[in-house]
Chains A and B, each alone.
Chain A
Amino acid sequence: MSIPTSASTTLRTARLAPPALDPHRLREDFPILREKVHGKPLVYLDNAATTQKPQAVLDAVGRFFTHDNSNVHRGVHTLSERATRSFEEARGKVQRFLNAAQASEIIFTRGTTESINLVAQSYGRERFTAGDEIVLSHMEHHSNIVPWQMVCQQTGAVLRVIPINDRGELLLDEFERLLTPRTKLVSIVHLSNSLGTINPVRALIERAHQAQVPVLLDGAQAVPHLHVDVQSLDCDFYAFSGHKLYGPTGIGVLYGKQAHLEAMPPYQGGGDMIRSVSFAKTDYNVVPYKFEAGTPHIVGAIGLGAAIDYVSRISIDAIAVHENALLAYATDSLADLPGLRLIGTAAAKGGVLSFVLDGVHPHDIGTILDQDGIAIRTGHHCTQPLMERFGVPATARASLALYNTREEIDALVKGIHKVQEVFG
């Protein structure tokens, strides 16, 4: 009996295993990686802040401005038609990338932050009343805290916070306790920017839905590293940014279930979001246009579409395999360094390594590494409540992308040795 089982396992593995990714070859696609910093080759490990852009994205942006530039949804002339087609094709690419049921569920925004603000103001402000509760977690980015605080001030709703353990994992029992008839929304980060924790969002959503509570996922860090299927997850809203997915800055996405979006009032007023306007009354446009007032970031959306094409050609699964292997290598390498403590050691983790060094402030680590061309992020990473939870004012953070290599992790380790040498 064991033979067929093992054979079928092998077959299944063979079918599912993504093609191996060669980061050295892929680096050729990113012109900026040829830059020198202080005379040293750039080692870019600040990908959770923003990723670098492949030539395919740079070309798509350049091509649009060179050949197709025009406003969308306006003119009958050729360029306007081309611009509109490219812009709407980009929406279709996002839809397929997230496996949304329809393109109208994809709203273009400025980024994750604006996507969350849109839900807070359009969905939340309309529905929340005094005493209602919004459930967040202790590891949220400020962009998934402050918009809710603002809507709390407007409506009298209050925030409830899911605590985390010392590894940086959500306490699910506490989540259970926080779900009450007063809970009106759960808004949770999918992959933590400071800790790397991948939250068990499928289980959280299932549990919240049992209590008839909708769920928003902040996917800013998750989308570049994990395969995300919004229908399979059954999340109500999903937010992410283009620039962390190898696309341009200033463009992001809010996915929302059609029924929610149709029931929500507009977020901003202006052109494109209307069907007809008189001084007496305005009829709003259909979704998604109801939420896209004004001329959108057309070339941003097109650049994002090109970025999605790029990562899809490599495959998100292959990127995940590569990054997970690199994360394991980096975690082992850093663990060997005396006086170094990793902040964020969850069992389920993406390519983020937050750490502190005995006797050395993260800012000094950042400055010394930069002298060797190594770019990491130092600070509170817009997660001050989380820093407080771990009793540190800041951390140093190295974060990985598809083009990072073991040699770069070795350079990081060597750089940290140098930090320790300087600080004796």
Chain B
Amino acid sequence: MSDLRELYQEVILDHHKKPRNFRKQAGVAQVEGYNPFCGDRLTVYLKMDGEVIKDVSFEGSGCAISTASASMMTESLKGKTREEAEVIFKAFHDLLTNPAPAANNAAHLGKLAVFSGVREFPVRVKCATLAWHAFHAALDNKNKIVSTE
């Protein structure tokens, strides 16, 4: 059970059940993230104000990991600059894929560090990064579908 509790932490389950910023936005950059492996499909909506993320939200359906990751992503990115968002994006990716993440990683991630347990479940890394890839493409103003495959 310990590995499972590490993966399905209370805060992750909470965001899965009550995803934050779970709504559409009109007239903003939007990118759909799709994981053909499990059928998860999320659309990320991004509203910029110059270099600042004015609003970021998402909609769609997915597993607990992908939904919670999308939800917590929107909370952590709102109000950040493009540059800060890039740093967090890289730190999150590092957290999931690098067995020894950089020492200052935790400082960039804050609450997002709860996803460190995903590293022990390699097939689930794509779930956790799905919304992030969609966000990243939206940041580059690419209206498209990003796939994990």
List residues of chain B with CB within 8 A of the CB of A367.
4, 7, 121, 123-124
Contact with A along B91-115 (1 / 0, CB 8 A): 0000000000000000000000000
Q: Contacts A367-B7, A371-B3, A371-B4 given: A423-B64 contact, CB under 8 Å?
A: yes
User: B63 to A361, Cβ gap below 8 A?
Assistant: yes
Could you say which residues of chain B place their CB within 8 Å of the CB of A41? none
Which of B5, B37, B64 meets A360, CB within 8 Å? B64
Check B61 against A424 for contact (C-beta < 8 Å): no
Q: Count of B residues near A, CB < 8 Å?
A: 22
Q: Is the Cβ of A364 less than 8 Å from the Cβ of B17?
A: no
Indicate if the CB atoms of A361 and B3 lie closer than 8 Å: no
What is the minimal beta-carbon distance from B82 to any residue of chain A, in angstroms? 32
A394 contacts B64, C-beta separation under 8 Å: no
CB distance from B31 to the nearest CB of A (A): 19
A422 close to B (CB within 8 Å): yes
Counting CB contacts under 8 A, is A306 at the interface? no
- Which chain A residues numbered 360 to 383 have a C-beta less than 8 Å away from chain B? 360-364, 367-368, 371, 378-380
Q: Which stretch (B38-46, B47-55, B134-142) binds chain A? A: B38-46
Is B41 within 8 A of A393, CB to CB?
yes
CB distance from A273 to the nearest CB of B (A): 34
Interface string of B1-29 (1 = CB under 8 A from A): 10111011000010001000000000000
Interface string of B43-81 (1 = CB under 8 A from A): 000000000000000000111110000000000000000
Most buried by B among A362, A367, A379: A367
Contact between chains at A368 and B4 (CB < 8 Å) = yes
Q: Could you say which residues of chain A place their CB within 8 Å of the CB of B131? A: none
- Is the C-beta of A387 less than 8 angstroms from some C-beta in chain B? yes
Pick the residue among A363, A380, A384, A422 that contacts B63 (CB under 8 A): A363
Tell me which of B1, B5, B64, B123 contacts A361 (CB under 8 A): B64
Smallest CB gap from B121: residue in A:
A367
Whether A424 lies near B7 (C-beta < 8 A) is: no
Contacts of B62 in A (CB 8 A): 361
How distant is B95 from chain A, measured CB to nearest CB, in Å?
Answer: 18
> CB within 8 Å of B: which residues of A?
359-364, 367-368, 371, 378-380, 384, 387, 393-394, 418, 422-424
Binding site for A on B (CB under 8 A): 1, 3-5, 7-8, 13, 17, 37-41, 61-65, 121, 123-124, 127
19 contacts between A and B (CB under 8 A): A361-B38, A361-B40, A361-B62, A363-B38, A364-B8, A367-B121, A368-B4, A368-B8, A371-B3, A379-B37, A379-B38, A379-B39, A384-B39, A393-B39, A393-B40, A393-B61, A422-B4, A422-B5, A423-B13
Known: A363-B127, A364-B64, A380-B39; 10 extra A-B contacts, CB below 8 A, are: A361-B61, A361-B64, A363-B63, A363-B65, A367-B7, A367-B123, A371-B1, A393-B39, A393-B61, A424-B13
